[in-house]
Amino acid sequence: IVDESVKTVVVDNTVEVEFWNSIEDSDDPEEYRIYLEEYPEGKFTKLAELRIKKLDDPIPDLDYGDYHALVIGNDQYKHIKPLSNAVNDANSVASLLRSKYQFNVNVLTNATRDEIVSALSTLRKTISSKDNLLVYYAGHGYLDKDTDEGYWLPVDAVDDDFVHWIPNSTIINSVRAMKAKHVIVVADSCFSGTLIRGIKIRELSSDYLTEIVEKKSRTVLTSGGLEPVSDVGGGDNSVFAAAFMRILNENTGVMDGHQFFTTLRKQVMMNADQTPEYGDIRKAGHDGGDFLFVRQ
C-alpha cells in the first residue's frame, strides 16, 4: 500500500530542488524572491535570503583599495582678483570625502605654487599601486591661446608672469608618475578642459566593476571646457561644487566617474552657462579603468 501523503511530499520536494537547480547560479535577485514565495519553508530558504542580500548590496564585495585626496582651494590672491567661494568649496568637499567616503584628505587653502607642487610630490612618494587618489582644485585658471597650454594659478601668481603658474604639463607629469591604481583630477577653474582627451562611456555592471577596479585610470572632471566658469551660484559654493557634493551625498553604493559626470553635467548646465567635461588625462598612462566613488 502506498502512502499518498508521503508520495506528495517527495514529489513536491523534487519540484523544489529542480526549481532551485535552475536558479542557483542566477545573478537576478527576483528569481530568489520567487523561490521564497513558492517555498517559504523550503530547503534552500536561508541560502536564497543570503543570495538576495548579496545581490541587492549596492557595494559589490571587491578590493577597492585605500582612498586619498588632495583638496586645494584658493581665494586670497595677492596680485590678481580674489575669489569668493573656492576655500569654502575645498573645506566642504574635504569634509564630505572624509565623513562619507573614508578618504585620507590633505587640504590646502590659499596655497602657493611651491605648496601645491610639494604636496603632489609627496603623494607620488607615499601612495601605493593599490590606492586611489582624488585631486580637487578650486581657483583661478588660465589658457595661453598661443601655446594652447592651460594653467592653475596659485595665490602667488602674477598676471602676465608665468613664474608661479602651474602648467597642465606639470599636473600631467605628476599624475603619470603616481603609483596609484586610479587617479581623478577634479578642476573647478576656468579653461580646465585643456587637460582632457575623450573617453568612451560604458554601462555599469558587476562584470564592468570587476574589470575596471583592476585597471589603471587617469581621468579628469572639469567644471567647464575652454571657457570661464563661475565660483558662485550654488549658495556658499560654486555651482559645480554644489552639484559635486550633492551627488556624493545622494550616492548610496558604488558610482564610477562616467555615472558621476553624466549626473553632474545636467545639474551644472541647468544652473550656469558652463558645460562640465570628463575624459582621460592626455598622455598620463590611462589604461581603461575608471575612478570609483564607494560610499562607506
**CATH number assigned to the domain comprising residue 275:** 3.40.50.1460
Please give the residue range of the domain that contains residue 170.
67-294
Report if residue 156 sits inside a domain: yes
Q: Render pLDDT for 166-211 as a digit per residue (tens, 0 to 9).
A: 998 899 899 989 999 999 999 998 767 667 654 444 445 556 677 7
Confidence tier at 143 by pLDDT (50, 70, 90): confident
Same domain, 192 and 277: yes
Same domain, 83 and 113: yes
Residue 286 has a pLDDT of 83
Of 181, 86, 90, 171, nearest to 129 by C-alpha is: 181
Residue 196 has a pLDDT of 63
Same domain, 121 and 25: no
pLDDT at 41 over 60: yes
Confidence tier at 30 by pLDDT (50, 70, 90): confident
Residue 280 has a pLDDT of 86
pLDDT at 279 over 50: yes
Residue 12 has a pLDDT of 59
Report if residue 252 sits inside a domain: yes
Of 149, 226, 222, 221, nearest to 191 by C-alpha is: 226
Residue 209 has a pLDDT of 76
Residue 80 has a pLDDT of 92
